[in-house]
Amino acid sequence: MKKGLLLSATLLATHAFANEPMRLNIDGAETYTRERGHGFEPGAPRNAAGLPSYFTVDVPAEGNYRVTATLGGPEASDTTIKAELRRLMLDSVQLPAGATAQRSFIVNVRTAHIAAAPGIEPGAVKLKEPRESQDEVWAWDRRITLEINGAHPALRKLVIEPVNVPTVFLLGDSTVADQQREPYSSWGQMITALFKPSVAVANHAQSGETLRDSLARRRLDKILSVMQPGDTVLLQFGHNDQKQQKDGSGDAQTYQAELRTHAERILARGGVPVVVSSMERRNFDAQGRIKPSLTEYADAARAVATDMKLAFIDLNALSQQFYAALGPEHSKAAHPINAGKIDNTHHNNYGADQLARLVALALREARVPVAAQLRDDLAPMAPGKPQPPAQYNVAASPGFTQQRPLGD
């Protein structure tokens, strides 16, 4: 990382956000403090070769913010920017020496507070302790935290302003949720980079959760309290709901009833629910054929979507085609290795990216209105012809645990 290209920021607007956007000029060496309201995260890697830096800015309220970054400088640069918990915003923006360019993206900021709304009692999301309240606090504080990454990052300036844009809300389990550290990732973290800077993605998915948990922890209530008419909600559950069969607390029928409850409440608030079947687990038989394990729940999801006339994305079928195209051996490249053992349920950056592209293109095929906000250069992708793993590369995030308590 070159000296002078990624340092700390100086506030140029005295009354930021009051009458004009916040403008930050990267020209000093400051650490974030509550008094300053912006700066590099204390204790995080900084100006270290091969490690990202983390820059945080306080914002006045939860909501959607357009961030316009000026990139480049005297030397050739290659910059990747992620927001909050590794949500990919800009992927490898490469500029020649002496060139600068502006790139914009939308960051959704949220808190656990639930404001009263028609049919919704005030309160708060029941965050998981300590996972969400401490380890994943960046996803819930009233701040924008940017991870500046890449082979030769060069961030010069930031302009941040609140915006009123359509929002795509995500609800689901760990295969959708913002994963904090490598080697894990999810399609929910990757799909952010596939939209134009005219739509926000708000990822409310959480590891280990079911449709029942979404209701009990009030995650759906949180979405409904801030959702605007016309906003989209993608619902992908199944992996953990399936486990309810073992303890006798649920089955495919209760799954359908709970999915229907979600969809009905979203429709009542003017939202657009989209049902997504759970991607399959990577599992091949001796003949090299996929062994499905979630068919019952994929069928249940389709039945609800069909009965309620909702858009349906069969990610279960698409993922099976994706794995089959790669084959038993090469499909391993889509999954993380944890403690020397492959995780056949979750995904790494490559697998998450490929699934995100399948979801995005399926939104177009289903003619979901928000699909008009997908990037114009998003090339068609056939699940049977995925990008070869060797051709995929995104700046890795080793992870940095935010020790600041929620609300500090």
DSSP β-ladder status, 311-313 and 77-83: unpaired
- CATH superfamily placement of domain 1-132+140-164: Galactose-binding domain-like (2.60.120.260)
Residue partners of 215: CB distance under 8 A and separation at least 6: 258, 261, 262
- Distance in angstroms (rounded) separating the CA atoms of residues 185 and 189: 7
Give CA torsion, residues 188, 192, 195, 197, to 10 deg. 150
Question: Coil, helix or strand for 247?
Answer: helix
Residues across the chain: 408
- Closest of 9, 11, 32, 24 to residue 404, by C-alpha: 32
Instruction: Pick 165-389's CATH classification: 3.40.50.970, 3.40.50.1110, 1.10.443.10, 3.40.30.10.
Output: 3.40.50.1110
Query: Is the pLDDT assigned to residue 353 strictly greater than 70?
Result: yes
* Spatial contact of 289 and 348, defined as CB atoms under 8 Å apart: no
CA distances to 84, 167, 195 from 70, rounded to whole Å, are 19, 25, 19
Average pLDDT over residues 325-352: 97
Please state, in angstroms and rounded to a whole number, the distance separating the CA atoms of residues 377 and 242: 37
Q: How far is CA 174 from the centre of its chain?
A: 11
Please report which confidence band the pLDDT of residue 404 belongs to, taking 50, 70 and 90 as the band edges: low
Kindly give, in sequence order, each residue whose CB lies less than 8 Å from that of residue 387, ignoring residues fewer than 6 positions away.
354, 381
Please name the residue that has the structure tokens 């012809």.
385
109 near 65, Cβ under 8 Å?
yes
Residue 340 is predicted with a pLDDT of 94
Q: In terms of DSSP bridges, do strands 53-58 and 63-72 run parallel, antiparallel, or are they unpaired?
A: unpaired
Residue 123 CB-density burial (10 A; 0-12 exposed, 13-18 middle, 19+ buried): middle
Sorted by where each begins, the domain ranges of the chain are 1-132+140-164, 165-389
Alpha-carbon gap, residue 364 to 368, rounded angstroms: 6
In this prediction, residue 16 carries a pLDDT of 61
Dmax (CA) of the chain: 67
Nearest to 238 by CA among 332, 303, 180: 303
Q: Which residue has the higher pLDDT, 5 or 108?
A: 108
pLDDT for residue 3 is more than 50? no
Q: Rounded distance, CA 252 to CA 273, Å?
A: 19
What are phi and psi for residue 162, nearest 5 degrees? -70, 140
pLDDT at 407 over 60: no
Q: Which residues of 226-239 are buried (b: 16+ CB within 10 A; e: fewer)?
A: bbeeebbbbbbbbb
User: Residue 275 burial by CB count (10 A; 0-12/13-18/19+): exposed, middle or buried?
Assistant: buried
pLDDT band at 7 (very low <50, low <70, confident <90, very high): very low
Which region among 180-194, 215-229, 386-400 has the lowest average model confidence (pLDDT)? Answer: 386-400
Q: What is the pLDDT of residue 406?
A: 59
Helices 252-268 and 239-247: crossing angle, nearest 10°? 130
- pLDDT given for residue 9 in this prediction: 40
pLDDT for the residue numbered 175: 98
pLDDT(12) > 70: no
Q: Could you tell me whether strands 87-95 and 155-163 are parallel, antiparallel, or unpaired per DSSP bridges?
A: unpaired
The least confident of 19-23, 24-28, 300-304 is 24-28
Residue 29 pLDDT: 55
Helix residue ranges, H only, 144-201: 187-190
The neighbouring-strand residues paired with 162 are: 65
State residue 19's pLDDT score: 74
3-state secondary structure 292-330: CCCHHHHHHHHHHHHHHCCEEECHHHHHHHHHHHHHHHH
pTM confidence score: 0.94
Distance, CA of 206 to CA of 132 (rounded, Å):
9
pLDDT in tens, 193-217: 999 999 999 999 999 999 999 999 9
What local confidence, expressed as pLDDT, does residue 405 receive? Answer: 57
Q: Give the C-alpha separation, 210 to 361, whole Å.
A: 25
What is the rounded average pLDDT for all residues in the chain?
Answer: 92
Contacts of 163 (CB under 8 A, 6+ apart): 64, 65, 66, 106
